Structure 1
Amino acid sequence: MHAFFMPPRQVKIGDAAAFAGTTPRAIRHYHEIALLPEPERGGDGRRRYGYEDMIRLLWIRKMADAGIALDDIRDAFATGTAAPSAVSGDGIEGILERLEESLAEQEAELRRQRTAVQRMRTEGSRMGLLSDFVTNRLKSLPEGLLRQADWDSLLVTERILGPLGAAVQATRFVVLATHPTLREESDRLDDAEEALDDSVAVDDPRVAEVAGERHAFESALQAVIEESRLGKDDDALFDAWDALHPAATEDGEGEADLSPRRREADSMSVFEAIGKMPYDFSPARLRCMELAEELSAQEPPAT
């Protein structure tokens, strides 16, 4: 006949951890943050854990597995009764409510991230980085016609001016991708502007010359856009944007610009972007850009 087994009145930290399904290191951490009171120690100086300690360890393990922060668990114990294992029902209810709200937010974020990843796989890693409003403008183009620099520019523009600004800029790349002569001239001008490095003085005649060529090119490019259906498509872009964001154009009805009312909340002004987005432009190149803008401003408005 077997003798009746007598359970220990107290156990060492290793046995307590094994029973609760945790580790001695975790239990020591609970002591450090005052989540689990320090138990009495035996004659050998080691901690000894009794029944109430084990109950609290099980509570901690279960609540931590549910995602409740250790600080919240400690607060719930603090508002309970005097018993070591007691937990305030009201306190836990409030914690669980906050946890549920947090989990719902995390689920929504995960769905957003998963949708973004699926879209990148469907649209391609480059096009998928841009919003639908921009990519819809480019879907008529055969794959491979846009360059990496075009995608990069659209990404920056969308960050600054939002999807509407990037969609309008996409029209430019559509024309360049489908008009080899314009693309060739654009490349030549890009090289000429890049040549205006720090070795070129601001008042060098080449600065004004390149500015004039840039102005002439932009006028020719705009003429192609206006003569094609793309000009009308741009008008439709503004209408579509206003339809999607009616509040953004309140008191701005009829405007055809990229004012702050038409930008997304996450976008920034051009002024803000200048101070945050690095561009390796020399003073001569910046002056060239200014001169080109001045030439455009001097032209009479199109009728």
Structure 2
Amino acid sequence: MYPSITPPRQVKIGDAATFAGTTPRAIRHYHEIGLLPEPERGGDGRRRYGYDDMIRLLWIRKMAEAGIGLDDMRAAFDEARDIEEILSRLEEALAAQEAAIKRRRAAVQRLQAVGSPLGLLSELVTDRLSHLPPGALRPSDVEALLVTERIFGPLGAAIQASVFIVLATHPDLRAEQDCLDAAEAALDDGVEPDDPRVEELAVQRCTQQMALEQAIEAAGLDTAEEKLFEIYDADLKGEEDTQMSASTATTKMPYDFSPARMRCMELTAQFLADAHSADS
């Protein structure tokens, strides 16, 4: 005959933890926060756990696996809150997490399909650039688009993409752009803001910008920009959290432009405004 085995009426914390699939440390924490009532202690002063305690521990483990927080467990056990309400809130939280995971997976898939770093831009922007051959955009072009998207959102960056499309397809304009960029960089070498070269360069930059605008119009890119406003609906605006106001950006984005270069940029904007007013 097999010897009879009589289960213990109570077990120590280590055995309780092993059976419930948790740890003694976790059980002590449950006691501290009031999730698990303190059991009676044996003659040696150690906690002893009975059947009801083990059922509570199993409930705690299963609820934790479902994602229910300890505070919500305690409220449910105390009947201070309907368990259906807790589960409803948990379902909403899980749905939000699932949506976030889908967005992250979509972003990773775009990076795989489009390539990095171009794939870091919003789909609205990369769609506009998709017809360009590989390598047509310079790293500095992509960096500029990233900054623009952060400040003005995907729509602003998609519109700015017209400039880089023209530069990538018009070598003469690209060469002139490079010369002007180099001249502007030279303004940082101790040139004073009132130096005549500053205004001269602003005039040249204004002329070149007007040529860019003409090339954009000739290529029909301005019409494409108008369509962007039509398709920029609520779905695309889900990326609004990726941008900030221009006033905030000026205080957060570091620039190392000299006063002379800043003056050149101001004059260029002024000259452009005057030119557009004269045309209208």
Deviation at 1:164, TM superposition (A): 2.1
Q: Aligned partners of 1:199 and 1:66: how far apart in 2?
A: 65
Aligned equivalent of 2:230: 242
Aligned equivalent of 1:145: 136
Aligned equivalent of 2:22: 22
**Contact 1:161 1:263 (C-alpha < 8 Å) held by counterparts:** no
- Aligned partner of 2:156 among 158, 165, 169: 165
Aligned equivalent of 1:268: 244
Q: Aligned partners of 1:51 and 1:268: how far apart in 2?
A: 58
The C-alpha deviation readout for 1:81-125, integer Å capped at 9, x for no partner, is xxxxxxxxx721111111111111111111111111111111112
Which segment is superposed worse, 266-275 or 3-12?
266-275
Deviation at 1:210, TM superposition (A): 2.0
Gaps of 5+ in 1: 81-89, 249-261
Change beyond 3 A, Cα 1:173–1:240: closer
Matches within 5 A, 1:168-187: 168-187=159-178
Percent identical:
61
Deviation at 1:3, TM superposition (A): 4.1
Deviation at 1:74, TM superposition (A): 0.7
Aligned equivalent of 2:208: 217
**Contact 1:14 1:23 (C-alpha < 8 Å) held by counterparts:** yes
Q: Aligned partners of 1:99 and 1:283: how far apart in 2?
A: 55
- TM-align CA RMSD: 2.4
Q: Aligned partners of 2:202 and 2:278: how far apart in 1?
A: 20
**Contact 2:203 2:268 (C-alpha < 8 Å) held by counterparts:** yes
Name the SS for the 2:279 alignment partner: coil
Aligned equivalent of 1:97: 88
**Contact 2:151 2:249 (C-alpha < 8 Å) held by counterparts:** yes
**Contact 2:205 2:268 (C-alpha < 8 Å) held by counterparts:** yes
Q: Aligned partners of 1:107 and 1:236: how far apart in 2?
A: 35
Say how many residue pairs are matched.
278
Aligned equivalent of 1:199: 190
Q: Aligned partners of 1:215 and 1:63: how far apart in 2?
A: 66
Q: Aligned partners of 1:29 and 1:225: how far apart in 2?
A: 66
| Moved beyond 4 Å, runs of 4+ | 262-265
Deviation at 1:243, TM superposition (A): 4.3
Q: Aligned partners of 1:143 and 1:239: how far apart in 2?
A: 25
